[in-house]
Structure 1
Amino acid sequence: MRQHAARWWSSTGCALLPTGDAFDYVKAPGYCARAVADRFPKAALINYPRYWRVAVLVVPGTANTWDLETAGGMVCEGAGEHLNVPAPDRTAMEGEDPYWLRPPGDQPWFPPANELAALLHRLEEDVMRAQQPANEHRT
């Protein structure tokens, strides 16, 4: 897999990698990026500007136990899926191509799934509350 990735990274800057062995990932809206980065300063994060999404790399197998409701509807993908992963040195925005907000480094660190899910749920609740008309905030 490493040669496959290196070949694609050198020619296109990204490689489509299978998930489930080295990592799973959580898809979240772009507005979650800063909060995730602040709460989990070692977590690997990929930004997808074209789709205004971020991918948070998590422990392989997380998708098997991920609870959509607990995570505010954010999806976790695992075995049998793929992720478009930027080259390790692509850490700045170039057009709409994916890039690392924070690359995984030599010793990948994954955020605890339950803490990540709780954070994403809270962020989604905050957005939903902010979208309510002003008169619905009153009791």
Structure 2
Amino acid sequence: MADNLTDTAENLVLDWINGVGSPTRPTTPLKCRLMTANGSDSAGGTEVTNSGGSTYASQNVTVGAASGGATSNTGALTFTNMPAVTVVGVEIWDSAGSPVRLWHGPLAANKTTNLGDTFEIPVGDLDLSIG
């Protein structure tokens, strides 16, 4: 997800780099949410919702140290017992009491799941970069 920081995250980074104010670090663990409609820098998308007995839930995501302005997930993200849905993108949120949306982006290709399917993002396939 190159250049897919939300406006909120962009402001946090700029304030931190420029020594302005006291930007608050995101609350970990970060959470990966699957989207049925993608958002933008300023507005969230539509998250997958459960139906028909599915148990979709956002997943904790960890990333490695950045190198060359980029990083990626260090563990597979496995979403089990999905609803029948078409996933078009992902968003990364922190886990604060009032969660903050940090990243957003489309999948390389939409993925349709049937009720009960597992959706997985393998290690290293969730790429985050600035630029």
TM class by smaller structure: under 0.3
Of Structure 1 and Structure 2, the greater strand share is in 2
TM-score, reference length from structure 1: 0.25
- Higher helix fraction: Structure 1 or Structure 2? 1
